[in-house]
Structure 1
Amino acid sequence: MFGNWFNCKEVDEFADTIVADLVKRFPPSGVGVPAKKAAERLKKTHDSIFARIEAFARAQQLNLYKKAHLGNRVKWALKEAGYPEEFVDALTYELVTVVTLVSGRRGKVSP
């Protein structure tokens, strides 16, 4: 009846690779460091990760459940990795927002 509606294997794999990449490029110890170099590294990491997130959202048909599952999986993985609560909440909120907006535009042609 629901087919692949609840199948989140690809979402889980993607979430795990995103978190692993973030931990590698910008470890939890780098959050909150006021250095200019750390801020620049965070910006580059953010841009790279969110480009991948946008591409994933365009390529996959993500229903409401899969979007929520992706956000939840990333959020808990970031918490377990030791990132501060504010960082985790902000990144997760942005991730779910981007995925929702990009997947909502799938197949629509702009005028």
Structure 2
Amino acid sequence: MSNWHRQFSLQSGWQLHTWVYFPLREKHMILSWFDAQKAKDFGTSLAIFFIEKVPVKDRMEEKKFAAKTQKILAQMAKQVTQFKAQNKLNTYKKAQLGNAFKWTLKDAGFEGAYIDQLTKWLMLQVS
């Protein structure tokens, strides 16, 4: 890169990239679109929260279980709302969040159909 190009890129905020100029700001935006670490961490923490409140082996009668689960889902919905307010979620980040949530529940030993229902509920909350 010539001295002129270096000076131009520093002063103007544009970067020379193989004969095409990209604004430095747009390059950062493109890369940040794929940075889903916060979403993954939140998905994992949400699953852990659910696991702690409703252990796999904790199967009480159907009505009590449904009531307990509804209370926990309401608490989780509040957490999701707060996370959405603080973080901009695109399609990729939503998918990573759901995937982390699903696999954490799967690793904890929940059954597949139940995990799918919870993950679907979460994706509706995130959307």
- So what's the TM-score if we normalise by structure 2? 0.70
**Structure number with higher relative contact order (C-alpha < 8 Å, ≥ 6 residues apart):** 1
Alignment counterpart, residue 52 of structure 2, candidates 17, 24, 44: 24
**1:35, distance to aligned residue in structure 2 (A):** 4.4
**1:38, distance to aligned residue in structure 2 (A):** 2.6
Q: Aligned-pair RMSD on alpha carbons?
A: 1.5
**1:85, distance to aligned residue in structure 2 (A):** 1.1
**Any conservation in 1 of the 2:48–2:104 contact (CA below 8 Å)?**
no
Question: Is there any run of 5+ residues in structure 1 with no aligned partner, and where?
Answer: 101-111
**Distance in 2 separating the partners of 1:47 and 1:88:** 17
Percent identical across equivalent pairs? 29
1:75-100: per-residue Cα shift (whole Å, max 9, x none)?
11111111111110011011112211
Considering only CA atoms, is the larger Rg found in Structure 1 or Structure 2?
2
**Distance in 2 separating the partners of 1:85 and 1:34:** 20
Question: Is there any run of 5+ residues in structure 2 with no aligned partner, and where?
Answer: 1-26
Match of 1:80 in 2: 107
- The structure with the greater share of residues assigned to strand is 2
1:20-68: per-residue Cα shift (whole Å, max 9, x none)?
111111111235x424333322111111012111221222100110001
Pairing 1:60-75 to 2, within 5 Å after superposition: 60-75=87-102
**Distance in 2 separating the partners of 1:46 and 1:29:** 18
**Any conservation in 1 of the 2:43–2:100 contact (CA below 8 Å)?**
yes
Match of 1:108 in 2: none
**Distance in 2 separating the partners of 1:97 and 1:35:** 24
**Distance in 2 separating the partners of 1:69 and 1:13:** 9
Count of matched residue pairs: 99
- So what's the TM-score if we normalise by structure 1? 0.79
**Distance in 2 separating the partners of 1:50 and 1:75:** 16
1:43 aligns with 2:70: yes
